[in-house]
Amino acid sequence: MNELLQQLINGLALGSILALIALGYTMVYGILRFINFAHGDIFMLGAFAGFYLAPRIATVLPLPSVAGALAVLVISMAVCATLGVLIERLAYRPLRKRPKLTVLITAIGVSLFLEYTGQFVFGAAPKKFPEILPGFAVMHLGHLSFNSNQIVVISVTLLLLLALRFIVLKTRIGMAMRAVSFNPEAAALMGVNPDVIISFTFALGSALAAAAGILWAINYPSIDPLMGILPGLKAFVAAVLGGIGNLPGAALGGIIIGVTETLVSGYLSSTYRDAIAFAILILILLVKPSGLLGKKEVEKV
Amino acid sequence: MNFRYAKTVLLGTIALGFLASLFASRINPYWLFIFYDIGISIVMAVSLNLINGYTGQFSLGHAGFMAVGAYTSAVITNQFGELNVFAANAIFAVALLAGGLAAALAGLLVGIPTLRLRGDYLAIVTLGFGEIIRVILQNLDRVGAARGLSVVHGWTNLFWTFGLGAVTVYVVASLVNSTYGRGFIAVHDDEVAAGAMGINPTKYKVTAFVVGAFFAGIAGGLYAHAKQFLTPGGFGFMQSITFVVMVILGGMGNTVGVILAAILLTLLPEGLRMLAGIDHLPGLAAERPLGWIGDTRMIIYSLLLIGLMLTRPQGLFAFRQQRK
Amino acid sequence: MNMLRPPLIFAASLAAAVIFAGCNRPASAPGAGGDAIKIGEFASLTGSEATFGQSSHKGTQLAIDELNARGGLLGKKIQLLTEDNQSQAGQSATVVRKLISSDGVVAILGEVASSRSLEAAPICQENKIPMISPSSTNPKVTATGDYIFRVCFIDPFQGTVMANFARQTLKLQNIAVLTDVKSDYSLGLAKFFKAGFVAGGGRLAVEQNYSGGDKDFNAQLTSIKAANPDGIFVPGYYTEVGLIVLQAKQLGLNVPIFGGDGWESSSLVPIGGAALEGDYFSTHFSPEDASPAVQNFVRQYRQKFNEAPDAMAALGYDSAMMLADAINKTGSTDAAKVRAALAAEKGFPGVTGNITMDADRNASKPAVILTITNGAFKYVETVSP
């Protein structure tokens, strides 16, 4: 029983990071209907931004400290938001009127570009992510051990999810986002500038990916230029599982993938982990073809 | 592809491949094996084009089918020792066919979920199947698991690669250009309307997966007997992506374009390698003036990919109106 | 039909260009012609295993630079031609054919991963070009043929060394094994370790697996903790080991963790930190070794690359140095003679120990066991074969 609870905590921590990445996939999909393959690499750049920023921030704010960690988090999010907007401008916007698969290829190109450039500039060897949060503590509760990082990861994810929910549901720009997602032409007629909204969506999604990158690096302090591939793929799966285009669905999908993977490696077989995770996904999709929370799209004849 | 000449082109290519294979010993082995790579890429890309391009289903697991064919054929030919030319080619043909059939069976398995799924959901399921195949191979001790499987015979030659390349193109082209095959395009254009016209979309989708997987399995067999070493990691998700890129860059549903894209994308990294290896350039004193390309080869490759797509979004070699 | 013309013309000219380029075989005798001796190297310089390939390549490059600074070989400069296989299956075969057929190299150095060495070995054997793998430990690599050598020890030896060490020195009874199922190296080492440990009277508490590239090992470690072992064997690479050890300590698994030469890297300690204290691994050399060969190598490497060399760099260095030694002894670059000289190497003073080629062309040399104390690798003992 204790072991099971421990595994659930492990899975929740892993799943909440995947959820943050999955939100970026799903937001872009909701508005542009295409899979941003480079999203996992933005996550990697978020971690590297933190890696290079930390020593500079340490000259102003004490590190490790909560204030310092927040500064690293926020500035990395800003850096990646800018990058996300830039990538959309240069590589995706010129193809907006083209079939979505065309954009997919430039997205793959951007992804390869970020990975190979990362290996060239940062080096391929894994780097130690600096300690930006104070005093790593392991708390014991009976036989369970929580580490403070897991708690930080879960609570920061929760906060970011609430903030996102507020932005999308309660602000004017959030309303515009929903309008563009629902019907871009009609939204444009109502005076919404789709370009601004799309840029904002990319900024938001990339900022969340950067936050996930920092949280990941706090929890698993070994970062390398290819670190985004696997979490990116799993978050993509999570987004589809939850119903792509659906924000709560992406968060739910992330948690499900994280917990499933942990339980499968803990109890069934870590050798077949990826296969079993995908098999479960396929089964769920066979029962619910548009994901757990996705709406069935109306066929237009 | 103008269909009237298809048979001539098919027979011509097979004959040329046969003639060329007689002179293979005079070709630099490096280039000879790149020709094999090109032939294999053509089979993969053209067969994927049937699924992704013509039928409009988005498959991300083509390398998985290739793996099934590669391992099946390798396990068969590994049972045999040294053989004379005729026996070797006969057994190779049987092994390739078996690899193709095994992959077709896998294709049938993947095709069935298409009854209910579409678009990105289908993409994820095919990706999942590809990964499941890879994980299973990685755990099968009989085929070496992660240690890999040595393939005893290097039986792939120009005749087999280009002959089978021509057969793939011919089969896909005649399938799509037949009265029956118009159904693939109908399903691609509008599934609901196609259904209303009495076309059974499910049947077409499953057929596309089975035929596409069959040829991917054959390509796998050719790959196995060219490289003579197989590892599960060689058939991952990124490998599938490579073939998707060929299909989209060539212009979906444009067979000639897809063939040219397969050739171009196979040659591009090697071309960059050649540039990096040039010892001297006229007018420059430095030794290996383009050596920096060696370090940044894959960065240049990715930039070229983005650039090509931005400048020719309709497909690199689309010289006619795309079917819409 | 008109519409087809441009692509067809394009294709035809492309094919013509390629065939023209293809027929351009090297005219001179392989490697010996011209003013330099060409040595080929294939390595994973980019892609998922770039960190290993880059280390190995740096070691090799250092050896070649050193040899050239001493005046080269047989009075000629050495030219090292390095090709990248992007860590991808299928690429090694291509680049090794290029190095042999287009560049005409006299010998091939590479790879770290056994799966990629096994792709290249049959090609080198067929062309009768000597190949030395710096760090592929799968026994099958050199079994390909009599032109294939290696300067590292093989899985059965290292697995047994660590099994005996765990059983006899650490007095462990009941251990867990955590294997990387994506890596042939990890699988091979785990296999021979388990056999040796059980034969020595030990028991396997639990076996768990991960896939190279994973970062979260909490699930596996939680299961291992539940089995209550008195030690954990992790035959993986440093890219994952640092995090494994860190997460084990966080879960309260306070038992010794130990592994093989895949642990050795300057990036292990920064990531694992204090959690690594008191853990062990077997490897090829100790940086503390006072021998001039080791000290010179460590100093030169630091000077050139501004970091401490790891096992793969040392093995890359030795592979190039041993090849140079064989060419020097032969007095020519004739492949058959170089092969014979390599097979006859006895007690070659490498950085990674005195290397003697056994009948199967595997390096027979002692293993060193190191421990981590105060964030530094400390020598424990030497185990001879």
Per residue in A258-298, pLDDT (tens digit) is 999 898 888 877 778 888 878 888 888 888 888 888 876 54
For A220, the closest of C54, C216, C265 (CB atoms) is C216
Between positions 33 and 72 of B, the ones with CB within 8 A of A are 52, 58
Domain residue extents for chain A: 16-228
How many Cβ atoms sit within 10 Å of the Cβ of residue A195? 13
Considering the domain architecture, whether residues C303 and C257 belong to the same structural domain is answered as no
Question: What is the complex's ipTM, to 2 decimals?
Answer: 0.88
Residue A222 near residue A129, CB atoms below 8 Å: yes
**Crossing angle of helices A66-87/A194-219, nearest 10°?**
140
Distances (CA, A) of B17 to B10, B11, B310: 11, 10, 35
Under 8 Å between Cβ of B246 and B309? no
Tokens of C195: 């056999």
Same-domain status, C161 and C147: no
pLDDT at C11 over 50: no
> With an 8 Å Cβ cutoff, are A126 and C242 in contact?
yes
Closest-CA residue of chain A to C246: A220
Helices (H), B277-314: 291-311
Q: Which CATH class is domain B3-253?
A: mainly alpha
Considering all CA atoms of chain C, what is the largest pairwise distance in Å, rounded to the nearest integer? 81
| pLDDT-derived band at C329, boundaries 50, 70, 90 | very high
Give the model confidence (pLDDT) of C134-157 as tens digits. Answer: 999 999 999 999 999 999 989 999
Interface partners of chain B (CB pairs < 8 Å, 3 or more) are A, C
Contact A226, A115 (CB under 8 A): yes
Look at residue B321 and tell me whether its pLDDT is greater than 70: no
Is A51 in contact with A217 (CB distance < 8 Å)? yes
- pLDDT beyond 50 at C19: no
Dihedral sign from CA coordinates of C74, C79, C84, C90: negative
> A95 to chain B, minimum CA–CA distance in Å?
7
- Nearest-Cα residue of chain A relative to residue C183: A271
What's the rounded mean pLDDT across residues A221-228?
Answer: 93
Helix (H) or strand (E) holding A162: helix A148-170
Chain C's closest residue to B31, CA to CA, is: C22
Reduced 3-state DSSP string for B20-51: HHHCHHHCCHHHHHHHHHHHHHHHHHHHHHHH
- Mean pLDDT of the B79-88 span: 90
pLDDT at res. A279: 86
Which long-range contacts link A176-179 to residues 24+ away (Cβ below 8 Å)? A177/A27, A177/A31, A177/A201
Minimum Cα–Cα distance from B117: chain A residue: A289
Query: Mean pLDDT over all residues of chain A?
Result: 88
SS3 C280: strand
A108 in Cβ contact with A93 (< 8 Å): no
Domain boundary, last residue among C257, C283, C309 = C283
pLDDT digits (tens, 9 = 90+) for C334-371: 999 999 999 999 999 999 989 999 999 999 988 999 99
What is the band of C1 on the pLDDT scale with cuts at 50, 70, 90? very low
- Which among B28, B29, B319 is the nearest to C6, CB-wise? B319
Q: For C207-228, what is each residue's pLDDT tens digit?
A: 999 988 899 898 899 899 999 9
Question: Does residue C374 sit within a domain?
Answer: no
Number of structural domains found in chain C: 2
Specify if C376 maps to a domain: no
Check CB contact under 8 Å for A285 and B121.
Answer: yes
User: What pLDDT score was predicted for residue B101?
Assistant: 97
Binary contact (B306, A106; C-beta < 8 A): yes
Q: What are phi and psi of C85, to 5 degrees?
A: -105, 10
Give B2's pLDDT tier (boundaries 50, 70, 90). low
Q: Let me know if residue C16 belongs to a domain.
A: no
* Contact list, A220 vs chain C (CB under 8 Å): 215-216, 243
Residue C189 and residue C153 in contact, taking contact as beta carbons nearer than 8 Å: no
pTM (2 decimals)? 0.89
Residue C344's CB is within 10 A of a number of other CB atoms, namely 11
Do C258 and C244 share a structural domain? yes
- Chains in contact with A, counting 3 or more C-beta pairs less than 8 Å apart as contact: B, C
Q: Which residue has the tokens 């599982």?
A: A241
SS3 state of residue A53: helix
The amino acid that residue C25 corresponds to is R
Nearest to C181 among B33, B146, B148 (CB): B146
Last-in-domain residue among C283, C310, C344: C283
Distant-in-sequence, close-in-space partners of B115: CB < 8 Å, separation ≥ 6: B202, B205
Distance from CA of B227 to the nearest CA of A (A): 25
Considering only CB atoms, which chain A residues are within 8 Å of C250?
A: 138, 145, 147
More confident residue, B1 or A233: A233
Average pLDDT over residues A79-86: 96
Domain that holds residue C62: 36-153+290-365
Here the contacts of A121-125 (C-beta below 8 Å, separation 24 or greater) are A122/A48, A122/A224, A122/A225, A123/C51, A123/C54, A124/A224, A124/A225, A124/C46, A124/C50, A124/C51, A124/C53, A124/C54, A125/A224, A125/C51, A125/C54, A125/C55, A125/C265, A125/C267
The string of DSSP letters for A67-123 reads HHHHHHHHHHHHHHHHHHHHHIIIIIGGGTTS-HHHHHHHHHHHHHHHHHHHHHHH-
Q: What is the pLDDT of residue B178?
A: 82
Whether residue A8 contacts residue A256, with contact meaning beta carbons closer than 8 Å, is answered with no
Same domain for C191 and C110, yes or no, is: no
Instruction: Report the CATH number at residue C276.
Output: 3.40.50.2300
Which chain C residues are closer than 8 Å to A116 by Cβ?
46
Burial class (CB in 10 A: 0-12, 13-18, 19+), B253: buried
Which whole number is the average pLDDT over C35-39?
A: 90
Query: Tokens standing for B30?
Result: 């490096």
Work out the minimum CA distance from C96 to partner chain B, whole angstroms: 8
